[in-house]
C-alpha cells in the first residue's frame, strides 16, 4: 500500500463509506465482485486444461453457480450434484484451468434423491471451484455439495510488513505453519478479526440458501436435497470453521489470558486470542456459532486461532462424528500436532488420515496442479497426484456414507488402509 497525504486519505474514506452504504441499500449486487482466479488478491495464471482425478461414484456430475446479494456484496454458491448431462457435453473447466467430468448446468438426476447435503468451505484465498476432484467425487457418490466463494477468495492479501514476513518465514521453516500463515496475512486477519466478521455469516447464509432451494419449486434442486442429512467439510481456514460451526467447537474466553493475548494490536498476531476482538466479544457465548443442523464433519488440514492451552478443552465439546484428513509435509501443511490434539480429544467418533508426500495444496487441485505454484513444490509432493487424490476420495466418501447416509457397508473402508500413500490411519470412539 502506498503513502498518501492525509486529505486524500480523508476524501477516500468518505467516498468509500458512501459507496459501502449505498451498496448495502442496493437491491442487487455486482455479479463480477470477487470473481476470477487467483490466490486471494494475487492473480494467478490458470493451468491449461489440466485433468484432475476422476470421480469414483455411479452418478454423472453437474456443476452450477448461483450468485446472491448478501450484506451488500455478491456471494456465489457453487453446486455440485448428480446429473444427467446431454450426450456429447463438454466437461466444465474451472477458473483455475482444471478439467474433470462435471458438466455445467446439466439437468439434475433425481433418480437417487433426495440426496444429503454437504456444505464446503474453501481455504483462505481459495476460490469456490478450486477443489474440483474433491467436490466432484462426493457429488458422483450421491451428494449435493455446495461450495462457497468466500469474501477472502479474491480479497485476502499478504502483508507488506517486513517484520511479520520475516517471522512467517522463520515459523514456516520450523514447521509452525499455522502461525506462519497468520503472520503472512496479518493485516487481513487483524482487519477481519480472524475472519469472524464474514466467514460464519457466509457459511450460515449458504446453508440457509441451499435448504431453501430444496423447497423452492423454481429451483433445479427442488425436492432433491435431504435437509435432515447435512454434513460439512472445509479446507484450511474452512476447516477451522468446519470445526467451530459444524462441530460445535467452542471459542472460550473465560480463562486467564496474558496481556498479549488480550491485545488486538499486538505486532505478533499469532499470539492474540480471538477473544481480544469485538466479533467474538459480541457473541452470546462460546457455542454461539454452532449449527446443530450439521451431523458430521471433515476438516481438511484445519488450523486454529484458539489459544493452544484451550484446544483440548474446546475439542472435548465436539460430539458429532469427525474425520481429519491432512498431508505430511512439515513446512507446507497445517501444523500436525494441533490437528492431532483436536482429533485425540473430541467426544464423538473421530478418524485420522495422514497422506504421505502430500502438501497443503493437493486437495485444492486448482492450486496443487497450477504450474506457478507447483514449480516451488518438492518432487515428492508433485509426484503421483492421482494416487494421493484417491485417498481423499475413498475416505471422505466412506465417512459421509456411514455417518450421513447411514450406509453400514462403508464401515470396512473407514477402517482399511486403501493405499501405500496412507501414512497414518486411526480412529477413536467409533461405533
- Mean pLDDT value of segment 342-348: 99
pLDDT at residue 12, as a whole number:
29
pLDDT at residue 108, as a whole number:
99
Task: Tell me the helix, strand and coil percentages in the chain, rounded to 5.
Answer: 35, 20, 45
3-state secondary structure of 93: strand
pLDDT at residue 8, as a whole number:
31
- Mean pLDDT value of segment 87-115: 98
pLDDT at residue 296, as a whole number:
99
Tell me the DSSP string of 154-214. Answer: TT------HHHHHHHHHHHHTT-HHHHHHHHTHHHHHHTTTTTTTHHHHHHHHHHHHHHHH
Task: State the pLDDT confidence band at 4, using cuts at 50, 70 and 90.
Answer: very low
pLDDT tens for residues 203-226? 999 999 999 999 999 999 999 999
On the question of pLDDT at 245 being above 60, the answer is yes
Cα dihedral angle (295, 299, 302, 308), rounded to 10 degrees? 40
Q: Residue 61, Cα to own-chain centre: how many angstroms? A: 21
The bridge status of strand 225-235 relative to strand 103-104 is unpaired
pLDDT at residue 124, as a whole number:
99
Q: Alpha helices of 284-415 — where are they, by DSSP H?
A: 311-315, 336-345, 365-368, 371-374, 379-382, 385-400, 411-414
Core vs surface per residue 101-114: b (16+ CB within 10 A) or e: bbbeebebbbeebb
Rounded Cα distance between 323 and 302, Å, is 11
pLDDT averaged over every residue in the chain: 93
Rounded Cα distance between 16 and 14, Å, is 5
Q: Residue 8, Cα to own-chain centre: how many angstroms? A: 38
Q: How far is CA 208 from CA 30, 212, 227, in A?
A: 21, 6, 10
Domains annotated on the chain, with CATH: 34-428 (3.40.50.1820)
C-alpha cell at 62: 453437474
Cβ proximity of 146 and 261 under 8 Å: no
- Mean pLDDT value of segment 288-300: 99
C-alpha cell at 393: 476420495
Rounded Cα distance between 66 and 278, Å, is 32
Q: Residue 16, Cα to own-chain centre: how many angstroms? A: 29
Percent of the chain at pLDDT above 90? 91
pLDDT tens for residues 12-47? 233 333 333 333 333 457 767 778 999 999 999 999
Task: State the pLDDT confidence band at 66, using cuts at 50, 70 and 90.
Answer: very high
Which H helix or E strand runs over 140? helix 132-140
Cβ proximity of 394 and 418 under 8 Å: yes
pLDDT at residue 31, as a whole number:
67
pLDDT at residue 160, as a whole number:
97
Amino acid at each position: 500500500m502506498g503513502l498518501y497525504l492525509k486529505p486524500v486519505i480523508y476524501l477516500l474514506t468518505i467516498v468509500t463509506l458512501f459507496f459501502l452504504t449505498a451498496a448495502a441499500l442496493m437491491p442487487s449486487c455486482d455479479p463480477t465482485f470477487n470473481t476470477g482466479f487467483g490466490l486471494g488478491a494475487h492473480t494467478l495464471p490458470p493451468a491449461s486444461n489440466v485433468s484432475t482425478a476422476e470421480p469414483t461414484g455411479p452418478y454423472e456430475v453437474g456443476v452450477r453457480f448461483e450468485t446472491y446479494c448478501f450484506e451488500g456484496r455478491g456471494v456465489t454458491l457453487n453446486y455440485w450434484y448428480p446429473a444427467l448431462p446431454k450426450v456429447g457435453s463438454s466437461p466444465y473447466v474451472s477458473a483455475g484451468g482444471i478439467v474433470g467430468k462435471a458438466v455445467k448446468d446439466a439437468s439434475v438426476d433425481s433418480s437417487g434423491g433426495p440426496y444429503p447435503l454437504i456444505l464446503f468451505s474453501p481455504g483462505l484465498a481459495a476460490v469456490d471451484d478450486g477443489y474440483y476432484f474433491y467436490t466432484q467425487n462426493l457429488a458422483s457418490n450421491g451428494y449435493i455439495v455446495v461450495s462457497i466463494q468466500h469474501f477472502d477468495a479474491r480479497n485476502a492479501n499478504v502483508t507488506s510488513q517486513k517484520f511479520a514476513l520475516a517471522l512467517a518465514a522463520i515459523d514456516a521453516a520450523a514447521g509452525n505453519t499455522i502461525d506462519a500463515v497468520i503472520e503472512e496475512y496479518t493485516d487481513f486477519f487483524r482487519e477481519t478479526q480472524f475472519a469472524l466478521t464474514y466467514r460464519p455469516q457466509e457459511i450460515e447464509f449458504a446453508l440457509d440458501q441451499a435448504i431453501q432451494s430444496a423447497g423452492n419449486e423454481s429451483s433445479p434442486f427442488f425436492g432433491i436435497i435431504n435437509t435432515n442429512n447435512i454434513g460439512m467439510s472445509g479446507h484450511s481456514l474452512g476447516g477451522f470453521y468446519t470445526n467451530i460451526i459444524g462441530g460445535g467447537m467452542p471459542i472460550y474466553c473465560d480463562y486467564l489470558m496474558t496481556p498479549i493475548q488480550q491485545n488486538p494490536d499486538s505486532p505478533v498476531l499469532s499470539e492474540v486470542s480471538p477473544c481480544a476482538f469485538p466479533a467474538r466479544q459480541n457473541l452470546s457465548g462460546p457455542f454461539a456459532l454452532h449449527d446443530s443442523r450439521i451431523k458430521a464433519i471433515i476438516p481438511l488440514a484445519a488450523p486454529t486461532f484458539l489459544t493452544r492451552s484451550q484446544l483440548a478443552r474446546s475439542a472435548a465439546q465436539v460430539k458429532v462424528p469427525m474425520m481429519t484428513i491432512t498431508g505430511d509435509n512439515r513446512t507446507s501443511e497445517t501444523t500436525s500436532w494441533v490437528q492431532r490434539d483436536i482429533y485425540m480429544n473430541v467426544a464423538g467418533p473421530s478418524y485420522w488420515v495422514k497422506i504421505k508426500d502430500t502438501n497443503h495444496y493437493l486437495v485444492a487441485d486448482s492450486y496443487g496442479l497450477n504450474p506457478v505454484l507447483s514449480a516451488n513444490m518438492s518432487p515428492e509432493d508433485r509426484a503421483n497426484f492421482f494416487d494421493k487424490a484417491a485417498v481423499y476420495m475413498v475416505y471422505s466418501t466412506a465417512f459421509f456414507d456411514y455417518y450421513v447416509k447411514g450406509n453400514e457397508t462403508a464401515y470396512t473402508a473407514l477402517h482399511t488402509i486403501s493405499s501405500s500413500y496412507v501414512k497414518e490411519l486411526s480412529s477413536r470412539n467409533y461405533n
